[in-house]
Structure 1
Amino acid sequence: MGTVEIAGTTLDVRYDGTVEPGAELHVNLEPTSGPKPVVVRLWVGQSSSEGSLKSKADATENGFHCHVELPADLADGSALWVEIEGEDGTRTTGSLPLPE
């Protein structure tokens, strides 16, 4: 899928699944530089997350893994949003466009 840089942390993002309304993506995130996040949350949709289900990623040996549900009403311009939480509790978001 690509890489995203959020608050000094670069994450390599990969997924399995089909991008379609109501589907589920299995997303793997691997930090490649910067501080490792304490918590990672993901959702598909708009930046506000309205109408989307936020999912908390599980920590793995190499990073994080998450099952992300796509909304039944997948609006144009929807993206994969990644929110990281640092050790100080600060939350910062970034996004990747959905593949066509």
Structure 2
Amino acid sequence: MIYQRVGRWEEAEVLGRRCLELSKKLVGHDHYMTFTLLGNSSLALAGLGRMGEAIALRAECVAGLEKTLGRDDPDTKLFAEILERWRESVEDSSEQIKRS
């Protein structure tokens, strides 16, 4: 997260991927922490401009959090809100390109 805050997206993405793999090994793929790391990794991808990958990863995160914590959990809602904003942003960009 520190790398992300200072705009060092490449380092954030690499470290995030490592943390995610370690979390899967230590606590399992379906653990809350793994899904949180998945969501954080999606931020790095978004920072790198890889929105398709970021949205796919964030969607996986949200689905997992909904399954483990429920839709009404504050963390689930936060991750889902960001996912919706990203999707809307990509749709808006696509519409602008079509109009050009």
TM-score w.r.t. length of structure 2: 0.27
Q: Which of 1 and 2 has greater Rg?
A: 2
From the two aligned structures, give the one with the greater helix fraction.
Answer: 2
* Greater share of residues in strand: 1
Higher relative contact order (CA 8 A, sep 6+): 1
